[in-house]
Structure 1
Amino acid sequence: MLSILQRYNWHGFAIVTSQIAGHDEFSRAVRDRTLEVEEEFKFSILHTIIVREPKDLEELANSEARIMLLYSTKDEARDIMETAEALEITGKNYVWIVTQSVIGSDLLTLTHFPVGMLDNLDRGCFGNFSVPRTIGDEARDIMETAEALEITGKNYVWIVTQSVIGSDLLTLTHFPVGMLGLHFETGNREVQLQIGRALEVFIEGARAFQQQHPHKLSPQLSCQGHGQIRWPHGELFYKSVSLSAGRLWQATAGRRG
């Protein structure tokens, strides 16, 4: 995203996010990147706004920001852009650069977004610019080639990520029988639920490690270069936690069954 700003010599911009999982990490990553390239290009982050309700965008309307980096889900982006349009911070004098999570793989969503919006795919942009090929397009081409090579059908299984399937279930008609799609939730509620599960996995793994390998769980590691540089039992601990994750998953699946 920052490469687009550098290309057009745009220095000042605002970061706009919803409360989507990872929004803090996104803002932090943008800040870190601006510092990394500071010697060759000077960026200025004018505002960082987390949109919880429509009025949160009013600060942006009263600012000097004309370039916005948006990170949110597709539905959240639709609401954000409707508010932005009402506040007159879209159109020819503004540029919104959005992440792939906003666009997804369904090009029909483009009708909901204003002229001047760019996405962060390297293959192209939206708005007044050319429409890029999506992940769904690439997967379709790959599967057509695979079908021609006879590596699809009942004797083969293709397991694909959510980025291939996207949110448009109509795309499933383009893929062969036997393909499995992995769908996962990324909302705050689901992330909070997974935090509890992650702690359970870690605790069970640590307990199993202590039972099988009675070593101290406080290695003398230091970021200052003192003490050990590698914990000799770290790999055993990692395997213990990994096995714990598998056992808990099987137990959960058994309860569901």
Structure 2
Amino acid sequence: MRLEERRAAWNERAAVALQAPRAALPSAVLAHALQARWTPRTPRAAVDGFWRAHPLRADRLARALAAMSGAPADWRWTLADARATGLRVPPLPYRLPKQEAQPGRCVVCGQPVFRLGWHRDRWSAGVVNQRAAWHACCVVAWKLWNAPSEQRRLLARVQRHRCAISDKRLLRTAEVDHRVPLYEVWRDRRDLPWPELLGYWGAPNLQVVNRVVHTAKSVAETQERARRRRDVPAPDPA
């Protein structure tokens, strides 16, 4: 059997499974799955594939869900947290040890996780997925926050392939940069509400710039940090 014939047979069987009443996929997810070159064969694969194809939408949704939860009343982003994970990793107050984590709650946003890793109970089951600890959208958002360079092409397209600082045409060597450096987020903005903090790792704080511009920006930031350290007065002797 030729490859095209195999693909057509695969897609036909997969489409029947995804459109079954039991699957009840969201319309956007189903439309995306049916347009794929190889149609996902399971509803969960269709959901995961949808969010992987829309990382910026996943980022917005994950931050919106976090805003619905808010941080726990006694939580605060501490120096110990920042040192343990590094500033490249956003603070997650709901990512607790397994013995403390709540079953069926997303470790990223703190909201309930329902069937297929969805963020709403569109199947009216009335119960959360006790075996799930991540929303499908939050998985993709988490990857964007931790490895934004992987979405360089998408971010460049959003910027119409213009450097965010110089406004010149983006070159092949262009790089993803944080508008507000993450060290500055820790230094000056760590007391902001937690959902607002997440935006500094997400799309609102990401930009694509040409490498020479990025280098100059990094040098200026390093000089500014050194200047601030020099300006801090030494503590009085005991």
Give the TM-score band, short-chain normalised.
under 0.3
Structure 1 or 2: larger strand share? 1
How high is the TM-score relative to the length of structure 2? 0.23
How high is the TM-score relative to the length of structure 1? 0.21
Structure number with higher relative contact order (C-alpha < 8 Å, ≥ 6 residues apart): 2
Instruction: Decide which structure has the larger Cα Rg and report it.
Output: 1
